[in-house]
Structure 1
Amino acid sequence: MGASEALTDPSSLYDAGNVEFSDTYTMLTVRNALASVQNGESDIYDELVQSMQISKGSDHAMWADLVTILNALSGSVACIDITHHRKLLSSVFGMSLWDLKPHVMDALVGLLISLAATSGKYLDSCLNMLIGHFVPPRWVMDRLSQRRVIDQKIDVLSRVHEALLKISLLVPLAPSRLLPMLAQQMPKMNKKDNVSLFFYLWLISYVLAINCFILFQVVVMYVENLFKLESSPIGQVGGSMIFMMVMERLRDLDLEIDWDHILQDDSSRGMFDMELEDVVEEDTMNEGEELPVGSLNQNTWGGNVVFESLDKLMVISFDHLESCNLAGRLDQVFEKLFGSFENFILNTYKSKVSQFLMFYACSLDPENCGVKFASKLMDIFLSTNKPRPTRMSAVAYLASYLARGKFLPVSYVATMLKRLVDVCADYCRTCNDDIRPEAHQIFYSGCQAIMYVLCFRMRSILNVPLFRSQLIPLESILMHKLNPLMVCLPSVVAEFLKQAKAGGMFVVSDSFIFDDLLESELSRAFGGCERLDTFFPFDPCLLKSSNSYISPNFIYWSMVRPTYEEDDDDDEDDAEIIVNGDEESDEEEEGDVDYAMNKMSITPKHSFKNKMERERLLKMPSMIRPSISPPQSF
């Protein structure tokens, strides 16, 4: 007699007219088996456990028996003891929905829900098993392009999310227990992460058996499931932590890319006369030809796979933010997103791409999220309770955001500039006799932010008398004994002075010359060698798919009309539309946007060794070097 036959009476179990009796009889049989092991009789219990060990090739009758047993166990969870029935529980938690037929999936999910809701002892095991399905087995990843496997993916994950939701409704504690598990099981792509032994072995098997691209797909699928949870009622409890998990993963991938290797400095040219270098696509190159510096297709661990994974994850994140906006809850989500940004990105050294989640969220809702982001950054900058590096990073983000956000009206940019000008003017009135740059880093970061924004927005602001008048105190700030013109990044200062002179903002001497040694010492004392002094976090996005979301609302330098350029009646209106960000762009501007999308952001090292280089610094760069936030301490 087979194991299942020992537990059930086939004559009654499959009699359509006695379904209720069959279910009752099976449940009683299962309960007797569970009770017998506690009395020292394990034969029937062992047969029960054995009947659950079936393979994909088992016949229909065995699958039907398994469904019957799982349903009977669901009605008998109160009889299951964590001590006496370990083999049974191990068998249940060792099953995978990926290996089961739909009707068997339903029976197993029903059992997991019953176990989780009946006793808190099984809650963690049920949750862990369910979210473990976010990482599919290898055979699924190998065949993910097949229609049959895609359908199975939908079948499995829809049941997993349904089960998690039901458990959360039945057990209010579940979401708080679920979130740490999600963070622990989230796949990691970068080599520096510390991982558990289980995941380490799993990672090694993936890398050796297939390739890094499969691992990238696993990460993408996991993040997709995280966002699905965030959109559910579970997100009301754990949304903040979910965004933090995603933001942390984006940051880690961002840091894994060796931007300095890809974006190699050219010390022979000043940063303000840098032309953007074309991104050469790998598929356009001749066989055997090496990829040039600046290409995003680097076939190394830190190259192609990480680029593609970061790009894809950014797109998934953008799509989720867009869905939140369509659902009318972006304003609520934005608070959680900003918390993640503040925790993981704001003070991160060399973050280049991940911060664009904030930029995109702001572009979706400029009137609410767009204003909130700038206000929160301003509040951090002004807060004396925040660490100095955090305050300096916040104002650098603010400056880059005000300069690049095409969706920000010039009136709002002018308002924020006025606040910065007033803060710097107050500082000048109260500063002591100590003029060492390292003693006034917050002040200099504010001054550099003002000048950087004006490099992009000066023409629009000076064209409005009210906005122009609000900048009057700026001249006294720049001419103060603290001498920000000699401390801030020279190339920003040079472009600002050129535009200020052309715009009649105040008198700028033609004989203004930097002292090479003094400039180097002061700038490094202000921001740290090549750190804050080159910190422009919203330089153009280097990832192609991600940039397609950003570029329609982004101001590239090629769009800016500096004050020293002569007016052109034919395209003056277009230029003002682009800079002011108050109207939609014309189709004629699309060429400039497409051109800029295919460019790289590079900031070379600077020097003032000769007149030729000083003259080159009078040209604004197309973009700045990779974003480099300040060090953790000064």
Structure 2
Amino acid sequence: MQSAVAATTTATQLARSAAKPATPLKPILKTASSTLGKRRALEDDDLPSDGSSTDHLQSPRKRQRVEFDMNLEIHEVGARTVEEIKKEICKALDGHAHGDDEDYDILKEAVAGRQRIYDADDDDDDDELDKILPERRRQELKGYMVALTGFVPRLGRSASGLVKSVLRCQWLGRDDQFATVYTQFLGALVSAQGSYLNLVLEMLVDKFGNSRPADWAVPDFPTVTRERMQDRLHQAVRYLLRVFPAANVVLGQVIVSKFPYHDESSRVHLAYVDNLLRLRKYASQLQTDITDLITNRLVHIDVKMQMDMDDLDDRLTAMVLMALRSAQANGELPADDDDDESDAESVDSDDEEDEFNQIKSVKESIEKLDVTLDKLFKLYTPYFDDPDSPEALSTFETLLNEFSHIILPAYKSRHTQFLVFHFAQQSETLLDLFCGTLINTAFESNRPLVLRQAASAYLASFVARGAMVPGKHVRLVFEVLGHHLDKMRATYEVNCRGPDVRRYASFYSLTQALMYIFCFRWKDLIQEVPGDVDEDELSSYLDQDITWIPEVKEVLRRNIYSKLNPLKVCSPAIVEQFAPLAHRLRFMYVYPLIETNKRLRLSQFVSTSYANGGALRESGLDLNDESWQQLDSYFPFDPYQLPTSKHWVEGDYLPWRNIPGLNPDDEEDSDEEEIVEEEIDEDTATDDEDGRDD
């Protein structure tokens, strides 16, 4: 009988009763410059049996040898020897090659674990047979795997049906010895038949989403814990990467294609992410790709969640909140949740079913986002034990790269950016790096306008909200933004007829950013105060002759009262907060301008066909509604309220502090909400019970 290639010497060790091997066949692998890389032979002692991680990957130019402690010798399985099973396989393959598929089809069922076990004791009574069949079934399938390993040179394209049957075998829920034999077969297969590498990796990655015992359980076998299942799964992946390093490239593509869709349950999503993070520990070539992938999908979930929340009315939003709190109170983890089938059965009408699905979808999005961010905070934190170390700097540069290429271009991401927000505040060096990146992005003329506006919003929000951002950085950023604002005004004002958000969007974004910073960090912009001011009592600053640092007041005054008239275009929520604060601090009095702007119509200054209302009528927009001509009030570092991961950033951001007596006409106990949150955040499922973020 013809047997295995030299690359599968473990197969001959496991079945010493095999016939003398013929001349080895060359594996179907290409050179190192190809997609699959150089040929990697499987050596004796190649398979790790304890699930331990590897320290590093050897150079792909060297012959691989993987150490493990295992010496399996399997000669007899069930009622037959390995040699007998080999003869059966050989007969089936020979028949298949000549067009006779009867034995071949039976073999496919057997290796998939579905065939009734061969019984040599036909005279046994049924009771006795019932006792011996389960054990015989265990051993018989193991024997097929041992024997089939010796035939991998013959499992080319013509035998793809047989290989696919093997890959459908439920192997993770069996015993450790079977898992080891099965993993060994996979290594032999991809070494001898490189064309199957993608199929093998897809089979393994498909199981990354498994989280319930039913997903991997096998009848007649003891229950395998999730942790043990994952150990076996990653032992197989790690083994393939070590004996075949070129598999890293293919695996990187597979984990992207197999990432759960957004409508998958939080249980599947979180199990997949958990396995990706385990993969990251030993697949050093894929570490950056894995975190990029997770971050990218997080942003998609984050943005979609905000859109879904916008579609919910207050009643449904409250129901989402109650569902989340109920899960937390009961100590439920998303991975433990049922599919809510019982709840779905109780829905009586189509409208109720729609509401149920909406609530469930938003709740699961919040869970996915929350738990995954918690895992990422936990992953990165050890690297910042010494925030000024080279390790911390390197890790932060990775985070900053993900932020620049994945998070910043996304519109209305609400939580994912808090990773860089948190770690940027760990040291002044990291803080400088983050602010410098945002400044460069905001003022590089070759950048898309939307990206420059987003960078301005991020910079202003970071400086305003960052609890660890020192006053000197607040003043520096204010000075830099003011300088660029003056340059824009000088350029635009020459031909300006009046406020026009379409033509001067970058100018208005910067003005709004400066007003936002002022509202939160006005104390850091003060140079000197009268002696009777109590620094710990905010109300003592009101109506005092305060000396501001040079150019702060002048910059805002020049630009606010310019032809571009930013108070007419900037978010009304921010203007309404800025006006009383600036007035009572004797910084600037803008109420007359606000009153004048109420009588001003933006449409008369809008360029092109919008000026006469033609395009507006065609688009169906209300001519009396000017909100579409005003800036959005999106500031991305407003309070973080995801319940599980919130603790990571609780000390990172400054809450809005209402100044007693600022608005004497208002009731003393009136609205203490965050600035502009009624527009920026709107009510979310993660708000506090009273609807406030702080």
Paired letter, 1:453? I
Relative to structure 1, is the Cα distance of residues 82 and 255 closer, same or farther in structure 2, using a 3 angstrom cutoff? farther
Give the match for residue 301 of structure 1: 357
Q: Which residue number corresponds to residue 100 of structure 1?
A: 174
1:417-444 alpha-carbon deviations (Å, 9 max, x no partner): 2111111122223333224423211011
Select the residue among 340, 353, 361 that pairs with 2:415.
353
8 Å contact 1:396–1:536 — kept in the other structure? yes
Kindly, what percent of the aligned residue pairs are identical? Answer: 22
Letter in 2 for 1:54: G
Instruction: State yes or no: 1:62 paired with 2:137.
Output: yes
Instruction: Return 5+ residue gaps in structure 1 as ranges.
Output: 1-8, 191-202, 204-214, 265-276, 285-297, 567-610, 629-634
CA distance in 2, matches of 1:523, 1:540: 38
Aligned 1:47-446 pairs, distance under 5 A: 48-54=107-113, 59-83=134-158, 85-136=159-210, 140=214, 152-190=225-263, 215-232=265-282, 233-236=284-287, 238-239=289-290, 241-251=292-302, 253-255=304-306, 257-259=308-310, 261-262=312-313, 281=322, 300-327=356-383, 331-363=393-425, 365-431=426-492, 432-436=494-498, 437=500, 438-446=502-510
| Contact preservation (8 Å) 1:458, 1:499 | no
Relative to 1, partners in 2 of residues 1:543 and 1:618: Cα closer, same or farther, differing over 3 Å? closer
- Change in 2 beyond 3 A, CA 1:430/1:237: closer
Partner of 1:459: 523
The one-character-per-residue Cα deviations of 1:589-624 (angstroms, maximum 9, x if unpaired) are xxxxxxxxxxxxxxxxxxxxxx999xx999973734
The TM-score, its normalising length taken from structure 1, stands at 0.69
Alignment partner, residue 543 of structure 1 = 642
1:36 and 2:94 correspond = yes
| Cα distance between partner residues in 1 of 2:281 and 2:408 | 25
- Determine whether 1:490 maps to 2:543: no
Q: 2:441, 2:360 → 1: CA distance?
A: 36
Residues 380 and 386 of structure 1 are in contact (CA less than 8 Å); yes or no, is this contact kept in structure 2? yes
State how far apart, in whole Å, the 1-side matches of 2:290 and 2:145 are. 33
* Secondary structure of the structure 2 residue equivalent to 1:557: coil
Residues 196-251 of structure 1 deviation map (CA, whole Å, 9 limit, x = unaligned): xxxxxxx7xxxxxxxxxxx2211111122223233431433623542344334423
Deviations 1:71-126 (A, max 9, x none): 3333442332221x233212111113344333222222222222223332011001
CA distance in 2 between partners of 1:342 and 1:110 (Å)? 42
Which structure's relative contact order is higher, taking Cα pairs within 8 Å and 6+ residues apart?
Answer: 1
The verdict on how the C-alpha distance between 1:263 and 1:536 changes in structure 2, with shifts beyond 3 A counting, is farther
1:98–1:524 distance in 2 versus 1, CA, 3 Å? farther
The farther-off stretch of 250-259 and 466-475 is: 466-475
Is the Cα contact below 8 Å between 1:347 and 1:390 reproduced in 2?
yes
Aligned equivalent of 1:623, options 655, 673, 677: 677
Q: Note if contact 1:247-1:340 (Cα within 8 Å) is conserved in structure 2.
A: no
Report the CA distance shift for 1:424/1:390 in structure 2 as closer, same or farther (over 3 A): same
Distance 2:233 2:182 in 1: 11
* TM-score normalised by L of structure 2: 0.63
Whether the aligned pair in 2 keeps the contact of 1:346 and 1:393 (CA below 8 Å) is: yes
2: CA distance between counterparts of 1:473 and 1:404?
22
**What are structure 2's unaligned runs of at least 5 residues?**
1-13, 19-70, 117-129, 327-353, 385-390, 530-546, 608-625, 683-694
Partners of 1:535 and 1:512 in 2: CA distance:
24
CA 1:477–1:454: 2 relative to 1, 3 Å: same
Aligned residues: 516
Report the counterpart of residue 448 of structure 1 in structure 2.
512
Contact 1:489/1:523 (<8 A) preserved: no
Report the Cα distance in structure 1 between the residues aligned to 2:176 and 2:601, rounded to whole angstroms: 69
Give yes or no for contact 2:520–2:656 (8 Å, CA) kept in 1: yes
Work out whether 1:534 is the aligned partner of 2:596: no
Q: Quick one: distance in 1 between partners of 2:435 and 2:510?
A: 14
Change (3 A) 1:476 1:118: same
Q: Within 1, Cα distance between the matches of 2:216 and 2:355?
A: 21
CA RMSD in angstroms comes to 4.5
Higher helix proportion (structure 1 or 2): 1
Structure 2: distance between partners of 1:550 and 1:304: 27
Mean alpha-carbon deviation: is it higher for 542-551 or for 453-462?
A: 542-551
Tell me, in whole angstroms, the C-alpha distance in 1 between the residues paired with 2:420 and 2:293.
Answer: 16
Q: Distance in 2 between matches of 1:96 and 1:523?
A: 70
Question: Quick one: structure 1 residues 126 and 531, their matched pair in 2 at CA, closer, same or farther if it must change by over 3 Å?
Answer: farther
2: CA distance, partners of 1:31 / 1:419: 76
Change beyond 3 A, Cα 1:65–1:540: same
Corresponding letter in the other structure for 1:489: S
Amino acid at match of 1:469: P
Structure 1 distance, partners of 2:172, 2:583, is 69
Encode CA deviations 1:127-157: one digit per residue, 9 max, x unaligned.
10000111228763799xxxx86x5221222
2:557 counterpart SS class: helix
- Contact 1:362/1:369 (8 A) holds in 2: yes
Distance between the aligned counterparts of 2:138 and 2:216, measured in 1?
26
Q: Which entry has the higher C-alpha Rg, 1 or 2?
A: 2
Deviates more, 1:159-168 or 1:300-309: 300-309
